[in-house]
Each structure stands twice: as structure tokens, then as C-alpha cells.
Structure 1
């Protein structure tokens, strides 16, 4: 699996690109180009073909222009990736009036991040330990922090709670995307896969040796029709995570 890293580009050029402080106009006689149009095309390539297919040449093909014409607007792929990430972060909804207090607000944030990963699975292939310091990323962080501002947590605890929630969503979304990709690449649904393996599993299963695993596995398979359900994992895990945060908040 391709893994890309944010923050690999030149800092000055990346920040200028993220905040659009030095965008150049299109030259006469050339197709109308802009940073926004290039970034949108790059996102469409990554959505449809995966991050491994992303290159300056592929984006230029998507736009019907020469590869070198992109470099008038974007220094290179590292900077392009940073702006792609910042751009899709701008898609999350940020309503001001969310019912349910801080818990309802955190739940809304988790669901928005979950939906974002399912729309753009390539996000799961981008390591973001060095955050993209763009306007949409900053606005997203500001909104998420305000969801728990004033409920008794310290500033460091607020940052930790947001990191905990978004980190949980990242892991749950990875499982959901992997399940979708498995079906796409094997041509079999989970139900078809289990049906094909069931006769052999019955031959090798040993209930006396693995009694708990056999009992729980059968119960889960009956409910999910598979070994697990990504949707259930997300819903169950989110509520238990919020329960744990509630204990911290109540202690204050």
C-alpha cells in the first residue's frame, strides 16, 4: 500500500500555496488553470484510482494539459498532496447548534470524519504526524476544539480528547475501507467468501479446543453475516469512547 507523508515540500512554498498568497494567472493562449482546478483534478484521480496513481503527469492528463504547465502553479507532488488534504478537510460540516451538549457535538464530529474517509479512502494512506498548516485544517481543528471548550477540561486534555476521537475514527474507517476493497479486488462479497469456506471450516473446527471463540464467532456471524461489521464497530466503539470521556468530564 502506498503511504505518503505530509510536510515533505518546501515550507515557504507549501504555505504560500495553502494560503494562496502567490498564485499566478494563466498565460494567454493556455487552457484556464488555477491551483483550485489542479487540486480538484488531483482529488478526483485519487478518489477514482487510489493514491498510488497520483502523479503530476496523471493530473495533467486529467486536465488535458502538458505536465510542465502544472509547475507554474504547484511546485511538485508533495505540495500538491498537502493542498489536497487541506481542501478535503474543508468538506466537513460545522453546524453551530448540535443537540446533546458536548457529547452530541463530539458524535457529530466523529460522523463527519467517518464520512470524509469513506468519500476519500486515500486519506487513510497519508501520514499526518506533521500536520498540514492550511486554512481548512486550522478551521477544522478550531471547530472540533470548540465542541468541548468550557466543559472543565484543560487545554492539553481538550487536544487529547479530539486526538482520541479522530484517531478512533481513523482506525474504524480503515477497517471499513479494507472490507470494501476486499470485495472489489476478490470479486466476492463477505457472504460469498464465508459460504465458500464454510464446508472446510466445519471439518477443522474444534469446539472443545476453542469453546469461547467458537461460541462468540458463531454469534457474530449470525448477526453480521460475516466475521465482523465495520458499521457496528464504529457505532459501538464511538459510544464506548464517549462513555469514557464522560467519566473524565463528570470527575470535574
Structure 2
């Protein structure tokens, strides 16, 4: 786990599920409850969206944004790990709304839509790629999202395990390419240079030491790719190219049935 990733799934699973599904009973004794768990979760999502990072998200910052003491926050959400899972479940609700009902659309187009919705979700909420749970979220929105995605490949003759694997494959591809896109955006903000400006400085320095005859493939292909992408890498191209090849593979699998 990198320094920017944050643990989820580390709390008591039964308690976390109760929080996610809204069945957790708040203590009857003590100070009057002035908030709800949903308000706490919404505030945390707003902070994470603003920072586009989880490194600075703490229970103290969430409490300050709500005008309450840090310890009182644990009345509504028992731990930061539990809060992260609840944040994921909340934003997954956006994907549920965007995916809608499967209807009569072609399944290939349906998988493209699953990919697009997840890509957009990652770009709107970059921090979701930093939540490392190791286990699937078990909230109502997370499960509804999974249900909508599985419905796209229902009735194709795939086994249940294959259906799950296809959706997982799409997720893995989207998350990998979205992570590259987000890292590229952060590099621009961190260095103050876009790709063209970076290459204007790096190119001449590299030309002084690079020997094309020693690395002929790297020289040829690297130049072609750089000219095509107008930079060292194009995350959008990687997303589209990889998704097309992924779908080719799934189409081949479905045809065997």
C-alpha cells in the first residue's frame, strides 16, 4: 500500500454494515445528537473532493467542518476506516443513477457504459482510488451498483463466476487508466509544467545522451507514440484502446457459448 492509499474494511464488519445500511442505533445517553451519520459522510466526501486526496482527511477535519468536537463524531461513525467505506458507498450511488436500468441496449454498449460511468466517477472523486479495502464494500449503493453492472452481461451464457470476472476486468482496466490520468494531472499541478513544457526541457537534455542506434525500437516507437499523443502518455487513448481490446476478448468468450 502506498503512502497515498488509506485503509478501509478494517473496522468491525457487523458495525460497519449497520452504519452503511442505516440500522446502527445511536447511544441514548450522553449529549443530544445534533447530526446524522449521513451528514458526517457527506461532509467527509466534500472535503475529500476538495483536496482530491485522502492524505489530509482526518476525523478532526471532518468534525471541524461540521462545527462539532472530534470525539462526538465517533458517535455517528466509529472509525476513519468505517468512514472511508461509507464514503465509497455514498459516491457509488451516483453510478447507480447513471447506469439506470439495463433496458434493451446491446450488451457490448452496456459494458462500454459501465466503463464510462466508472471512469467519470474516478475523475469526479479521485480519492476513491486511494481507498484500499481488500474486500468488497457491502453497502446498499455498492451492491445496487454491482447488480446493475451484472445485469448487462446476464443471459449471455456466461457462468456466474465469468459474469463477475468480466465486471471485475472492466473495473480493473478503468481504475488503472484513471489512476494514470489523475497522476498526470497531479504532476502538472506539482511541477507547474504541462507535457509540452516538460518535453521542451527534457527533450534537448535527452538528445545529448540518447543513442538511437543503440535503442532503435525505443527511438522509433517512442517518437511515433509521442507525436500521436503529443506527450509521453495519453491516458484517454490508453483507456479507449484497452477497453476495445478487452471487449474483443469478452465478445470472443461469448461467441464460444
Cα distance in structure 2, aligned partners of 1:52 and 1:38: 18
Are the counterparts in 2 of residues 151 and 249 from structure 1 also a CA contact under 8 Å?
yes
Q: Does residue 1:216 correspond to 2:218, yes or no?
A: no
Q: Does residue 1:165 correspond to 2:167, yes or no?
A: no
Alignment counterpart, residue 65 of structure 1, candidates 64, 68, 75: 68
Cα distance in structure 2, aligned partners of 1:2 and 1:201: 31
Cα distance in structure 2, aligned partners of 1:90 and 1:247: 32
Equivalent residues in 2 for 1:22-37, closer than 5 Å: 22-24=24-26, 32-37=34-39
Are the counterparts in 2 of residues 25 and 34 from structure 1 also a CA contact under 8 Å?
no
What is residue 77 of structure 2 aligned with on the other side?
A: 74
Q: Does residue 1:145 correspond to 2:150, yes or no?
A: yes
Equivalent residues in 2 for 1:42-121, closer than 5 Å: 42-49=44-51, 50-92=53-95, 93-97=98-102, 101-121=106-126
Offset from partner CA, 1:177-220 (integer Å, 9 cap, x none)? 11011111111111110011111122122111111111111111
Cα distance in structure 2, aligned partners of 1:22 and 1:127: 24
Cα distance in structure 2, aligned partners of 1:135 and 1:86: 7
Cα distance in structure 1, aligned partners of 2:54 and 2:104: 37
Cα distance in structure 2, aligned partners of 1:248 and 1:111: 22
What is residue 19 of structure 1 aligned with on the other side?
A: 21
Equivalent residues in 2 for 1:171-250, closer than 5 Å: 171-250=176-255
Alignment counterpart, residue 123 of structure 1, candidates 121, 124, 128: 128
Cα distance in structure 2, aligned partners of 1:26 and 1:196: 64
Cα distance in structure 2, aligned partners of 1:104 and 1:98: 12
Cα distance in structure 2, aligned partners of 1:230 and 1:2: 20
Secondary structure of the residue aligned to 2:99 is: coil
Are the counterparts in 2 of residues 23 and 35 from structure 1 also a CA contact under 8 Å?
no
Identify if the C-alpha distance between structure 1 residues 169 and 98 changes in structure 2 by more than 3 Å, giving closer, same or farther.
farther
Are the counterparts in 1 of residues 58 and 80 from structure 2 also a CA contact under 8 Å?
yes
Are the counterparts in 2 of residues 117 and 123 from structure 1 also a CA contact under 8 Å?
yes
Secondary structure of the residue aligned to 2:55 is: helix
Are the counterparts in 1 of residues 27 and 75 from structure 2 also a CA contact under 8 Å?
no
Offset of residue 116 of structure 1: 0.7
TM-score of the superposed pair, with normalisation by structure 2: 0.92
Are the counterparts in 1 of residues 150 and 164 from structure 2 also a CA contact under 8 Å?
yes
